[in-house]
Amino acid sequence: MTHRNFILIAAMMTLNACAIGGNAENWAVAKGPAGAIVDVKTSTANMKAELMEAGDEGVVLRRSDGKLVFARYASISHLRASRQGAGYNAGGRVTPSAVAMANLKLISHFPYGITPEIRARLLTNAGQSEYLVIE
């Protein structure tokens, strides 16, 4: 095989490798600022909502009506991110594993957390003074 053919084959393999496998092209969270849509089940609620923040104690969600809710991990029986793998799930009324927590933060609207200033603006926009708490 000539040197030129070897370089051509190597280049083609490299270009194909870039197109094979998973990528974020079709993730809603990669196309805009919105967080992933999650299914959340507690003893009193069953909803689909935007994941705004995954914190140490629980998650902040934005319901379809725009209201902001807080759910403690201790009350969540099932949390599943739509079209994501098991590494993005939580539940069982326990704090997610470190891997799951990092993944949930990554796909949330605010991966670095909601600052007090942003929280105040979000609540004002939702017509609330505090998060609605679901148990």
Q: What is the pLDDT of residues 60-90, one digit of tens each?
A: 999 999 999 999 999 999 999 877 767 677 8
> Buried b / exposed e across 29-63, counting CB within 10 Å, b at 16+?
beeeeebbbbebbbeebeeebbbbbbbeebbbbbb
On whether residue 3 sits in a domain, the answer given is no
On whether residue 20 sits in a domain, the answer given is no
Distance CA 78, CA 72 (A): 12
- Is residue 126 within 8 Å of residue 68, measured between CB atoms? yes
Which segment of 21-25, 57-61, 74-78 scores lowest on mean pLDDT? 21-25
2 pLDDT above the threshold of 80: no
Structurally, the chain folds into a number of domains equal to 1
**Residue 84: domain span:** 34-134
119 pLDDT above the threshold of 90: yes
On whether residue 64 sits in a domain, the answer given is yes
On whether residue 1 sits in a domain, the answer given is no
On whether residue 25 sits in a domain, the answer given is no
On whether residue 26 sits in a domain, the answer given is no
